[in-house]
Amino acid sequence: MTRKRSQEKHGHRSGARQAQAAAPATGDALEIMQPAGAYALLAAYESRSLEHDPGVPEQIEAPGLWRAIGFRVGEHHFVSGIDEVSEILMQPPPVTSIPSTRPWMLGVANVRGNLIALVDLKQFLFEQRTHVTGRARVLVVKQNGGNVGLLVDELLGQRNLTDADRIDAEGEADARLARFVTENVTLGPTRLGRFSMVELTHTAEFQHAGI
């Protein structure tokens, strides 16, 4: 009788240990089971991704929100509608000069098999040649008859303007810019002129680059 009870007791302890091993870990044991090394990094990225809420479309495309591309020409900072710029070239391509054209017409460039006219925007606006640096970019804009590339000093990235940002907007006093800049908006310490690529490409002076 004693031996039978001993076996039953031993069996009960063995079953308890197996049940304990099969049960999910809690408390401090969870820390031991966390992935380590590269797996921990992947787990952290996944956790951050799940926590990030990009917002519903109504929030992203909120009424009164205007998305723009910011760029610098000399000391002037501009923004143009994101739908007005079809492509951004991270460095100016090689150009073939065209005889008997205005100084701001740099020439023709081959971009992936497509020929585009390359214009020095600073030269066109202010009669000052752009000194190409590592920050210089080319904004590709559509116009009648083909695309045109505008050489600018620097790309400022995407900017989002709202109706509230435009409450204190100012007009453009510089006659050289008044045709293209519809208003000036101040964001933080920077004054941004809303530059219309449509007005630029439809200007007779811009369309006739020949001398």
Per-residue model confidence as pLDDT tens digits over 24-75: 444 443 333 444 555 555 555 455 544 544 444 444 456 689 999 999 999 9
The Cα–Cα gap between 32 and 87 comes to 50
Q: Is residue 142 part of a domain?
A: yes
Q: What per-residue confidence (pLDDT) applies to 159?
A: 92
* pLDDT at residue 180 greater than cutoff 90: yes
What CATH number corresponds to the domain at position 76?
A: 2.40.50.180
77 and 42 both lie in a single domain: no
Per-residue model confidence as pLDDT tens digits over 79-134: 999 999 999 999 999 999 999 999 999 999 999 999 999 999 999 999 999 999 99
78 and 47 both lie in a single domain: no
Q: What per-residue confidence (pLDDT) applies to 146?
A: 84
37 and 69 both lie in a single domain: no
* % of the chain surpassing 90 pLDDT: 64
The Cα–Cα gap between 196 and 143 comes to 13
Q: Is residue 156 part of a domain?
A: yes
The Cα–Cα gap between 108 and 157 comes to 26
The Cα–Cα gap between 184 and 194 comes to 6
Mean of all residue pLDDT scores within the chain: 81
102 and 34 both lie in a single domain: no
Give yes or no for a contact between 106 and 120, defined as CB atoms under 8 angstroms apart: yes
* pLDDT at residue 192 greater than cutoff 70: yes
Total domains in the chain come to: 2
47 and 70 both lie in a single domain: no
84 and 183 both lie in a single domain: yes
Q: Is residue 9 part of a domain?
A: yes
If you ran DSSP here, which 8-state letter would residue 165 be given?
A: G
193 and 115 both lie in a single domain: yes
* pTM for the full predicted model: 0.70
Q: Is residue 58 part of a domain?
A: no
Domain span holding position 76: 65-207
